[in-house]
Amino acid sequence: MTAPARVLASPDLSASVRELKLQLGAIQESARPDRAPLPTGIAELDALLVGHGIPRGRLTEITGASGSGRTSMLRTLATAAASGGRWIAYIDATRTLAPRDWAHVGSERAPLWIIRPTTSARATWCADLLLRSGAFALVVMDGAPQLSRVLAVRLTRLARDVGAAFVVTGEHGGDATGSSVRIRLAARDPARAANGSGKRSERTTTITLEKGGKRRTIEVSYGRAVARRLCAHPEVPDRRGVAHPERPYVPAPSTPTITSYPDKSAAGKSVTAKAAATNSVPPTAPRRKRSSAFVG
């Protein structure tokens, strides 16, 4: 037996190597992120999903038209994740979330970060940075353009490396993103009450699990927990009349109205007569320059 072989076969060295392996294994176990699925906050939907929640390290797709309850479901998901002490990042690509509906979500121990990029195309860049940080258990990208196959694969790999649940929402979806879970929402029009009182029943949402669990459809009421948006487009509406409800702001009409101010002096009469003779417009009051207010 050679000298190196005798050294490797010594009992002291074998014990040291065994102890080193145990230490490395403990370090790897402590550094491994939590992979437990995140509950959606809807018991009926959790019962259908594999693992009873949104998977970690995977891409989940939630689609539905405007008014289908998609934002309400996302708020329920964020509330459930925050109650478990997890950090949440929400990318508002359309810049239309109403802040008052999200004020109660999150805490000092589990904060909610809402990111509003300048353009919807920058949402993927924000998702890349948030996933690379590894600080968030749930990253939601809402209202961004549909992901390409290349971007979906790259962002899914980042989510898998840090053990984060990556949720993409929009009005349309498909197999191009390669999502592991696909949930489709559709709103049902509130039907008239059967007693003929004229009142409408609570609004309901039909949730269809198309991929990632038992393929079933359930119906959930969200009439009392609806999450609103500021408007249906990225431009924030004019809210200058909110501070003075007794003097509401009346916007200027689309077509300006020309008002004449008659002058009773002799010179004024001659000017008015001359203007009428030449078929010109009488003098008008100076218009006040209107400024636009933006919230960003």
pLDDT tens column, 59-75: 999 999 888 889 989 99
Q: Classify domain 44-190+202-221 at the CATH topology level.
A: Rossmann fold (3.40.50)
Q: Where are the domains of the chain?
A: 44-190+202-221
pLDDT digit string (tens) for 28-85?
A: 554 455 688 999 999 999 999 988 999 999 999 999 988 888 998 999 999 999 998 8
Q: Model-level pTM greater than 0.85?
A: no
114 by DSSP, 3-state: which?
Answer: strand
Q: What's the confidence (pLDDT) of residue 9?
A: 59
Q: What's the confidence (pLDDT) of residue 46?
A: 93
pLDDT digit string (tens) for 190-202?
A: 554 344 445 545 6
**How far from 282 is each of 148, 263, 264, 285, CA to CA, in Å?**
60, 11, 14, 10
142 by DSSP, 3-state: which?
Answer: strand
Distance CA 210, CA 160 (A): 22
| 8 A C-beta contact, residue 144 and residue 171 | no
Q: Where are the beta strands (DSSP E) in the chain?
A: 59-64, 88-92, 112-115, 138-142, 165-170, 181-188, 204-211, 217-221
pLDDT digit string (tens) for 214-230?
A: 889 988 876 555 777 77
